[in-house]
Amino acid sequence: MILRHRDLEQIALVALRCARVLMQCGSSVRVIHECGALLAGCRGVELLGMRVGYASITITLSRDGNSITRMATVPPPGVNQRLDQAVRTLVREASETCMPVAELSERLDRLMHDVPRYPDWLVVTAVGFACAAFAGLLGADALALPAVAVASGAGQVLRMFLHRRGVNLFVVVTAVALLAAFLGGLGARLSGSFTQELALVSSTLLLVPGVPATNAEMDVVDGYPTLGSARAVSVLMVMVFIAVSIWLAQILLAVRA
């Protein structure tokens, strides 16, 4: 089968789209590379190279002396495991059946709209319980736990509100951490808890970037230290902004560490 330059471009673009969605959903670099290799390999196209950066992905494909390089930008990464798994399943199916590029692109579009999400109320409740559990693990007393659950739930509501308006990640982190820490500390004080400081800190744990932190290390272990380092720096910056907000909340509530 002879592939024209335009055919190579279509393959490169759809591979970039799949890689972009995977990256946004929280996949590691190794997964992105495997995605590119699977989509190219089934068509007899050689994946000459793929560079996965924090904000962009570049792919170079080659076949019969023709080669093409295309790049796509990547929005700030998040975590969406169901969409991540759905895209992986689609890529595997596309690779096994050598699915036409147009069909793959159309099904990817459909997935992005059809993959279900938990309702907001359930996410807010789950985050509240998770942070209260965190507080319990850290040694907060029972009186502080309801305050932590309510404060972190309120923080999650604010996070979703700001996220949907496209507000900068670090502004979101600062605002959410400040609100959650303040409410958590205040609630613990009003309920008579002796672990007000733990409640204040635990209420912000919904923001701890656990997936990027583990991805950073896995990327380095897998041999991609550049993106691993970039992820580690972003994790560090998020933690610095959370700490600044906790510090402000402590000042507002006159809590001594």
Instruction: Order across the sheet with 66-73: list the strands.
Output: 46-52, 56-63, 66-73
Here's the x/- map for another protein, 202-241, by CB under 8 A: it reads as x-xxx-x-xx-xx-xxx--xx----------------xx-
Contact residue for another protein among 85, 97, 192, 194 (CB under 8 A): 85
Give the nearest distance from C-beta 238 to another protein in angstroms: 10
Is 80 in a helix, a strand, or coil? coil
Q: By rule CB under 8 A, what count of residues binds another protein?
A: 59
Query: Which of 134, 148, 180, 183 forms a contact with another protein (CB under 8 A)?
Result: 134
254 vs 60, 179, 193, 194, CA distance in Å?
Answer: 57, 15, 15, 15
The span from the CA of 35 to the CA of 29, in Å, is 10
Q: Taking CB under 8 A as the rule, does residue 170 contact another protein?
A: no
For residue 13, what are the CA distances in angstroms to 19, 56, 254? 10, 13, 55
Question: Segment near another protein (CB under 8 A), from 6-14, 23-31, 59-67, 69-77?
Answer: 23-31
Q: What torsion, rounded to 10 degrees, do the Cα atoms 37, 42, 48, 51 define? A: -30
Place of tokens 């590379």: 33
122 binds another protein per the rule CB under 8 A:
yes
Distances (CA, A) of 2 to 82, 101, 197, 210: 37, 16, 67, 46
- 169 in contact with another protein (CB under 8 A): no
Rounded CA separation 257/237 (Å)? 22
Is 172 a binding residue for another protein by CB under 8 A? The answer is: no
- The answer to whether residue 193 forms part of the interface with another protein (CB under 8 A) is no
Interacting residue with another protein among 69, 80, 105, 191 (CB under 8 A):
80
Question: Which region, judged by CB under 8 A, interacts with another protein, from 1-9, 24-32, 41-49, 61-69?
Answer: 24-32
Q: Burial, 192: exposed, middle or buried (Cβ in 10 Å; 0-12, 13-18, 19+)?
A: exposed
Rounded to the nearest whole angstrom, what is the least distance from the CB of residue 85 to another protein in the complex? Answer: 6
Binding site for another protein (CB under 8 A): 26, 28, 30-31, 34-35, 38, 79-85, 88, 91-92, 95, 117-118, 122-123, 126-134, 136-138, 156, 198, 201-202, 204-206, 208, 210-211, 213-214, 216-218, 221-222, 239-240, 242-243, 246-247, 250, 257
